[in-house]
A and B are shown apart, each in its own frame.
Chain A
Amino acid sequence: MAQVTYNLRVIWACMKKDIKVSLTDRVFAILGVFLSVNFLILFSLFVLSGGQAPTAVVMNDTGPYAQQFYQAMAGAHSFVLRKASASEAHTLIQTGRIVAVVTIPADFDTRIQNNEPVKVGVDINNLNTDFTNDIRRAVPLSITSFYAKAFPDVVTVVPKESDQYRQDTDYIPYLTVSILVIALVVGGLLQSGTSAAREWENATMKELLLSPASRWAVVTGKMLGALVMSLASVLIVLAVLIFVIGVRPMHWGEVIGFTLLTLTIFIALGTLLGTLLKQRQAFMGLAFGTAIPLFFLSGAFGPISFNTPAIQVIAQIFPVYYAIVVQQHAFHGFNLNTYGLWLNVFILCGYAFGLMSLAALVLRRSTVAN
């Protein structure tokens, strides 16, 4: 009993000490809190356009069919359209302001009426295949939609779509949940890793290692300190996501639970890396350098099963993948793999326990001479 009380006191003392040290460095504390928010906001800003291609339409014909074709393009969910003269459109595409110029020829209506072939000019600023392929696919989509409306008896082959979910989820609400996970990764790593590495840099680890305190208790205390410091960041990130970006969670309880679980994992990982590297500079390089590849690797943009087998195998090695899966369920109710929600949670708990044990083990085997 006395041992338990002693360990609890050690945990409490280590936690208090780490929080106090973090708070003495106000600039770091404030910027550390806002780092994750910045990440979320900045990333969201650049997907605002939702991948829709800015396109100029040169209407050399303003007849009813030409107008219907323009409407079909507007309904293709692929373009940000603007009407322009040929010279304006030329300038816009040459200066790289738009992805494409669609030119409806002067005899469009006449040719359509006479059932004669008509060519719609499409000049593409083929900057990258993401935009280019969207245009290459969206113009035929517009043609088919145009015919389906204007001549329903002529074009009889039509797509008949049935959706799995009652409503579509836009790109931003989907992606921002994945970004939340990366913000948790960065926030957790930053607080715990720098705190652990600082103990070695300042040689204050010597006192901790020479004390009779259990290494488990020290690690737990340090992790709890980092958790408290990270919570401020998490609250702000969640507030921005829910109230500013407007992504309402479907399961509030899951959001809170999975956020804490994810944070615990990356705080444990940060403590482990900080203890192993013993230097903030090396730790920061590794932490930030790793966050970006992990983001691309772990199914941030869609289910990992849509990717190549090699990526699927590698992604499942890292907890970020499972964290994204459970958070997408918490916010949108999506099942992104076939493991079921609770197996994903169980795997994450395994990571949390494993990393905490590893951090304690590494600390136990550490000596100041290292």
Chain B
Amino acid sequence: MKSSFFRSVWAILKKDLRVWLSNRRNIAATIVPPLAFLLIQALGAVAVGRSPVALVTLDQGVKGQQMQQIFHSADVSRVTDATPQQAKQLYDNIQVIAVITIPRNFTQRVTAHDVSPVNVQVNNLNLDFTNDVRRSVPDAITQFYQAQGSSSPIKVTVQEQDVRLRDVQLFQYSVLPTIILLLTLSGLVTSSIATAREWETRTVKELLLSPTAHSAIIVGKVLAGFVTTFLLGMLVFLLGAALNWTRPEGVYWLTSIVVLAITALFSTGLGVALGAALHKSQPVIAISVNIAIYLFFLAGGIGVIAFEPAWLQNIAAYVPLTYGIHALEQAVFYSSSDLFGRDILILGLCALATLALGVLSMRRSIVS
């Protein structure tokens, strides 16, 4: 009995994988977009969070030169030294977000304790960029005063202490949720369509009329979807690791792979259940995509869920991907297994629930 179950699962798995592999367009359509995403992230990484500004230093005095050096070493913007004409051209051509001008008499005024404005002309087209400039200039001014040591009039200094051992760049941080989105979209869409197509092409008749257990059909189909989805996720994950963006350390390789696997299992199971319930590709496509997008966004895929309003956090608590993203981030970025047991348990239970849902859908469709 057991061997017949496994033989059935194996046969269905092999059949579905062969169908998938025979379709090169499908494979290309699945693999190309994530690779394109990684390439874009790699090419744009330098610019993230550092707006370009033009710096015009009209003062050749000590203080003016010191201020110029501070703007360069502050590492909060991409600074280009320019003459007033060059700066105007850069600004007009939207090559820089702001022009910072250290005025001609800066040293003189600072020495005389007169008000010494640093002029900032900002292209305030959105607050994200504008606030970056509004923070970076006072930051440079604070550093300018700090450089004066004990004679500095600013006596308040910052004593920073970081909770985590290393900083994680924003582009690195966005890679993990993207992998989770890929796993969810690929698992849901691919498996749901593959399952629904069995009904559309009426090949399901053979499957259902055979003495195979329905659970074996579901498990076989889920495993086939799982293999392709998981391999896709692993491909992107390994590429991220090769680029040193998402490289876990030691045992956290294993925990990361486990999280990817269970997420793939969950999305594939849900896809198969959906396909078995609806039987038609067209509605299945629309529902799968909507579900994937909802799950991704509500799990905090593009933000940090803990920093969002409480009502959004409450919703996220019921979204399985929240736990997948959390577990993966802890493992990859912080080498931590904080709440790993909870995350895996919830994800695993959800994956099992989708399998049960698939069997139920299949049984109901036979009755109907």
Q: Which residues of A contact B (CB under 8 A)?
A: 25, 27-28, 31-32, 34-35, 38-39, 42-43, 45-51, 53-54, 69, 76-78, 93-99, 111-112, 115-134, 136-141, 143-147, 151, 153-165, 168-171, 174-175, 190, 194, 198, 201, 277-286, 288-290, 292-293, 296-297, 301-303, 305-308, 310-311, 314, 332, 334-338
Q: Which B250-291 residues have C-beta < 8 A from chain A?
A: 278, 280-283, 285-287, 289-290
How many whole Å from A240's CB to the nearest CB in chain B? 15
Contact A285 B142 (CB under 8 A): no
How far is A124 from B160 in the complex, measured between Cα atoms in Å? 7
How far is A335 from B93 in the complex, measured between Cα atoms in Å? 10
Other-chain contact of B41, A51, A190, A296 (Cβ < 8 Å): A296
Contact B138 A308 (CB under 8 A): no
List 14 A-B residue pairs with CB atoms under 8 Å apart, sorted by A's residue number.
Answer: A43-B297, A46-B297, A123-B160, A127-B173, A128-B170, A138-B135, A141-B138, A156-B115, A162-B120, A163-B130, A165-B123, A284-B285, A289-B29, A306-B52
Closest 3 CB pairs of A and B: A289-B33, A31-B286, A27-B283
How far is A139 from B135 in the complex, measured between Cα atoms in Å? 9
Contact A305 B43 (CB under 8 A): no
Binds A, one of B3-11, B184-192, B239-247: B184-192
Q: Which residues of B contact A (CB under 8 A)?
A: 23, 25-26, 28-30, 32-34, 36-37, 40-41, 43-44, 46-47, 49, 51-52, 67, 76, 92-97, 109-110, 113-132, 134-139, 141-145, 150, 153-164, 166-170, 172-173, 178, 181-182, 185-186, 189-190, 193-194, 278, 280-283, 285-287, 289-290, 293-294, 297-298, 300-304, 306-309, 312
Residues of B within 8 A of A151 (CB): 153
Closest chain A residue to B283 by CB distance?
A: A27
Contact B297 A296 (CB under 8 A): no
Closest chain B residue to A25 by CB distance?
A: B282
Contact A157 B144 (CB under 8 A): yes
Given A140-B138, A147-B153, residue A169 in contact with residue B127 (CB < 8 A): yes
Other-chain contact of B43, A49, A284, A310 (Cβ < 8 Å): A310
Contact A282 B178 (CB under 8 A): no
How far is A45 from B303 in the complex, measured between Cα atoms in Å? 10
Contact A143 B154 (CB under 8 A): yes
How many whole Å from A187's CB to the nearest CB in chain B? 12
How far is A118 from B96 in the complex, measured between Cα atoms in Å? 36
How many whole Å from A184's CB to the nearest CB in chain B? 16
Given A168-B127, A311-B40, residue A144 in contact with residue B304 (CB < 8 A): no
Closest chain A residue to B164 by CB distance?
A: A126
Contact A127 B33 (CB under 8 A): no
Other-chain contact of A165, B125, B157, B186 (Cβ < 8 Å): B125
Closest chain A residue to B166 by CB distance?
A: A126
Contact A161 B134 (CB under 8 A): yes
Given A77-B134, A161-B122, A306-B97, residue A93 in contact with residue B139 (CB < 8 A): no
> Can you name 12 extra interface pairs (CB under 8 A) apart from A45-B297, A77-B134?
A49-B309, A96-B306, A117-B150, A121-B161, A123-B161, A136-B139, A137-B76, A281-B281, A286-B28, A296-B37, A297-B40, A308-B43
Closest chain A residue to B106 by CB distance?
A: A157
Other-chain contact of A97, B114, B137, B139, B306 (Cβ < 8 Å): B306
Contact A171 B294 (CB under 8 A): no
Contact B307 A159 (CB under 8 A): no
How far is A359 from B344 in the complex, measured between Cα atoms in Å? 47
Given A96-B306, A282-B29, residue A289 in contact with residue B34 (CB < 8 A): yes
